Amino acid sequence: MTYRPGRCLLRQLLNSRKRSQQWLSDVTGIDKHRISHYASNRGLMSLSAAKTIAAALLCNIDDLYEWIDGEDEE
């Protein structure tokens, strides 16, 4: 069984918590442009960035992306 990240859900998570990308940048120390990059699905988060963002949003790393089961594609 293999999974790969699909669409990033960061924008939706921030909206549901009524938080901004600037707030997330301030709390995590991750550059706002990088957060925007993730939220716009222009790049994948590193494991350490995902863990840091998940901790700030009080969620699991799994909540940051839609996950695609590789076996479904075969």
Mean pLDDT by 10 residues, the chain (74 residues): 94 97 98 97 97 98 94 58
Is residue 72 one of the residues assigned to a domain? Answer: no
Is residue 74 one of the residues assigned to a domain? Answer: no
Phi-psi region of 29 (alpha: psi -120 to 50; beta: other; left: phi over 0): left
Check residue 1 and give its pLDDT: 81
At 4, the amino acid letter reads: R
Check residue 7 and give its pLDDT: 96
Check residue 70 and give its pLDDT: 80
Domain count, the chain: 1
Is residue 59 one of the residues assigned to a domain? Answer: yes
Alpha-carbon gap, residue 23 to 51, rounded angstroms: 17
Is residue 42 one of the residues assigned to a domain? Answer: yes
Is residue 71 one of the residues assigned to a domain? Answer: no
Check residue 72 and give its pLDDT: 56
Domain that holds residue 30: 3-66
